[in-house]
Amino acid sequence: MNNILEVENLNIAYGHDDVVKDVSFTVNKGDYVNIIGPNGAGKTTLVKAILGLINDYQGAITIKAETVGYLPQKNNNNDKMFPASVKEIVSLGLLGNHKRPKLFTANDHKRIEEVLKKLGIYHLRYRRIGELSGGEQQRVLLARAIVNNPQLLILDEPTSALDPHFKQEFYQFLNRLNQEDGITILHITHDTGNKESGYNKILYINRTILYYGLKENYLDIEEHHHA
């Protein structure tokens, strides 16, 4: 089978509150899935369970990717104070592979430079992240998430703080990662109408799945709904 992720009968509760209820879906290799739904719908909780950040759930999650990249929601508080350079931050994405202590190899440095060039931030490699614009910072964090060559990339509303120009640029990077590098993408977003985004499937969740399937069919339903 071509599955990279299978979620079966997933239930997650906080106290008596069912945050995720009877959720089952399968993601194929190469899919680009937009996860949408209202605030409090369980989107971030679902993603955290897939990433293994929440272990208290019922059901089964099977990941067939050897490496998974993750770009969490933007945290504005500590970026400005963080004294690390762009290259150092991106290199953190490689640490998961190694037993401590870590000595970076020539191949590691080559891979870091490759990713910086791919995302158009090579010229910023020695700058501190706090000196960069919001769009540049997000590219650095995306570089950190993909430097490890993940087969599955999970993003939690990475563009919510970006202006439209940066947002458009960011989606173009994601499209290239999906289409050129074959990375499967799960992307929590509010932005279903964005023309730049090359997603092919939508998972609409409000505690339970209300729709999962091709983008075209979902947009057809939306149009009829509003007509």
- pLDDT tens digits for range 1-17: 689 999 999 999 988 88
Cα separation, 49 vs 198, whole angstroms: 25
Q: Which two tokens stand for residue 36?
A: 């949408």
Residue 32: pLDDT band with limits 50, 70, 90: very high
Domains and CATH numbers, the chain: 1-66+151-227 (3.40.50.300), 80-150 (no CATH)
Which 8-state DSSP code applies to residue 102?
P
pLDDT at 79 over 60: no
pLDDT at 96 over 80: no
The string of pLDDT tens digits covering residues 187-196 is 998 776 666 6
Contact between residue 11 and residue 58 where contact means Cβ atoms under 8 Å apart: yes
Q: Are strands 3-14 and 17-28 parallel, antiparallel or unpaired?
A: antiparallel
Q: Specify the higher pLDDT residue, 219 or 106.
A: 106
Mean pLDDT of the chain: 86
Residue 49: pLDDT band with limits 50, 70, 90: very high
Cα separation, 172 vs 120, whole angstroms: 12
Beta strands in the chain (DSSP E): 3-14, 17-28, 32-36, 58-63, 68-71, 152-156, 184-188, 201-206, 208-214
